[in-house]
Chains A and B, each alone.
Chain A
Amino acid sequence: MKNKKLLWNLLYVFVIIGIGYFIYLSSAHVNYIWRWKNIPSFIVYNSQDTIDSPVSGIVENYKNKTLYIKSVKGKIEALKVEHPEVEKGQVVDKDDELGYNTHYRSGPLLVGLYMTLKISIMAMVVAMFLGLITGLMRISSNPLLKNLALTYIELVRGTPLLVQLFIFYFFIGTVFHLDRLVSGVGALSVFEGAYIAEIIRAGIQSIHKGQREAALSLGMNYYQIMRHIIMPQAIKRTMPAMAGQFISLIKDSSLVSVISITDLTKAGREIITSTFSPFEVWFTVAFMYLVLTYSLSFLTQIIERKMAKSD
């Protein structure tokens, strides 16, 4: 039994290797030249900052990566220089190059990843808010609130996100003079809010009606029941679905690149125009999305396990 499992797992590894080899062969077939060497520098790169002398004077000493320069007025200036290009005793003029320091800087892909994360978090916060309100309206007995919620949910779920994004950017954005980032976050929030509303509705309806009745019989009002009895239980129950929705949101956010927001996807496109390495760049971009979504699902698993313990 155990041996059989091992066999299947080995087979899995072979299949994966096979697929990788197939991709390699296909690229060789179109005479694709792989240039992985440059890719890391699009994530982080080492930049050199040259250090110029602030004064005219003489190099007194170099110790602990620090240059000591005695100015003509006799004052000692201390400067941090990792790679000096002057020697002890050398005479320097003001603004002469003394050497350089190296710095790790975020490459365009990392900057894009940061933008993706920022957009996703902002959109998630707004979407949660929208979803909570809509979810509550959706289960309201008031026909006005209920129908408004239903209309919103149906409109959003029945049209493609890309189209909604264009509407937000070209129509709403133009009318209200919205910045492209606001348009992007707005469209994403409205889109995800409709799905979150359904998650919240399902969560609330999954709470046994006895909970509400017990709270009512103790004299609590609607708000108190929602706040203290229903929502705490519903939110706990919807955690996995919420996490899934957040992961979807991160992936959906790649569409904002079409309205020229430089997120991870747009950064990828820009790099390709200058490097002609589409395969490497797209694989890297995909991998970076994967890191984001996978860490998120890992995190929620930990939280869920912690929460399960408190039961």
Chain B
Amino acid sequence: MTNTIIKAENVYKTYPGGVEALKDVSLTVSKGEVVVIIGASGSGKSTFLRTLNRLEKIDSGKITIDNMEITNPKIKITSLRSEIGMVFQHFNLFPHLSVLNNVVLAQTIVKKRDRKESVEIAMELLRRVGIDDKADMYPGQLSGGQQQRVAIARSLAMKPKIMLFDEATSALDPEMVGGVLDIMKSLAKEGMTMVVVTHEMGFAKEVADRVIYMDEGRIVEAGTPKTVFSGAKSERLKQFLSQIL
């Protein structure tokens, strides 16, 4: 029990338009675990991920992160969000800031680190993702793969306990995908807790401790990569896998 870091219980979410995006979703993730979420477009993967740092409010249910019930409206979520890194499909780097300042800004204004320390941390992380030679460039001058690596460094700079990836490689040219996946693999090896929405089945097979299959707002199947990929029970999952593999 003490090893649990994410606990979602009976989460429901309906969008204002009337779409029931999440229906009774429950999931428990242990520290250091890598959970990969797969599922067809519109099945609620992004919505679920975004409820984990309350970018999306839920209608009912309960989500606890590191023993903190973040769905309780009394909890001030703002600075807690920095403990949960999030990497987006379209990177969302700040275009008006240099690569270095993209990684430095939140450190100084959220974590209140002084600038010198923030720059040191930023440069170390940029070195780790292989972009340290482009620290003074602007996001618009980088390739998609490079931008995504900066975005990962930007999240890591907050020293998060959990990293969420929402289709981090879907918008990349094929030759850029590998580099980003390698960084994600090395993070997983170091024991980072990760929830990853992806269509990269190779990554799921190699890195995931658990694979979750979502369909129409529900978790339909869950298990080790092996059981989910080769022992699919539902017709929908079999169909989904045949399309994607």
Q: Which of chain A's residues have a CB closer than 8 A to the CB of B92?
A: 208, 210-211, 213-214
* B side interface size, CB within 8 A: 29
Residue pair B86, A217 in contact (C-beta under 8 Å): yes
- B187: CB under 8 A from chain A? no
* A232–B94 alpha-carbon span in the complex (Å): 10
Q: Which of chain A's residues have a CB closer than 8 A to the CB of B94?
A: 211, 214-215, 229, 233
- A160: CB under 8 A from chain B? no
- CB proximity of B157 to chain A, nearest CB, Å: 9
Q: Which of chain A's residues have a CB closer than 8 A to the CB of B93?
A: 214
- A158: CB under 8 A from chain B? no
Q: Which of chain B's residues have a CB closer than 8 A to the CB of A221?
A: 78-79
* A217–B78 alpha-carbon span in the complex (Å): 8
- A35: CB under 8 A from chain B? no
* A221–B95 alpha-carbon span in the complex (Å): 19
Q: How many A-B residue pairs have CB under 8 A?
A: 68
- CB proximity of B244 to chain A, nearest CB, Å: 25
Which of A211, A218, A310 lies in contact with B158, CB distance below 8 A?
A218
| A213: nearest chain-B partner, CB-CB | B55
* A201–B151 alpha-carbon span in the complex (Å): 28
| B90: nearest chain-A partner, CB-CB | A210
- B154: CB under 8 A from chain A? yes
Residue pair A219, B90 in contact (C-beta under 8 Å): no
* A side interface size, CB within 8 A: 20
Which of B95, B96, B106 lies in contact with A219, CB distance below 8 A?
B106
- CB proximity of A132 to chain B, nearest CB, Å: 18
Residue pair A217, B110 in contact (C-beta under 8 Å): no
Q: Which of chain A's residues have a CB closer than 8 A to the CB of B229?
A: none
Which residues in window 134-183 of B have CB below 8 A to A?
138, 140, 151, 154-155, 158
Q: Give 17 pairs: A residue, B residue, CB < 8 Å, sorted on A.
A: A210-B90, A214-B86, A214-B88, A214-B154, A216-B53, A217-B55, A217-B85, A217-B86, A217-B155, A218-B105, A218-B106, A218-B110, A218-B154, A220-B109, A224-B109, A236-B96, A311-B140
A233-B94, A311-B138, A311-B140 provided; 6 other pairs, C-beta below 8 A? A211-B94, A216-B55, A217-B85, A224-B110, A233-B96, A236-B96
Q: Give residues in B with beta carbon < 8 Å to A.
A: 53, 55, 78-86, 88, 90, 92-96, 105-106, 109-111, 138, 140, 151, 154-155, 158
Q: Give residues in A with beta carbon < 8 Å to B.
A: 208, 210-211, 213-221, 224, 228-229, 232-233, 236, 310-311
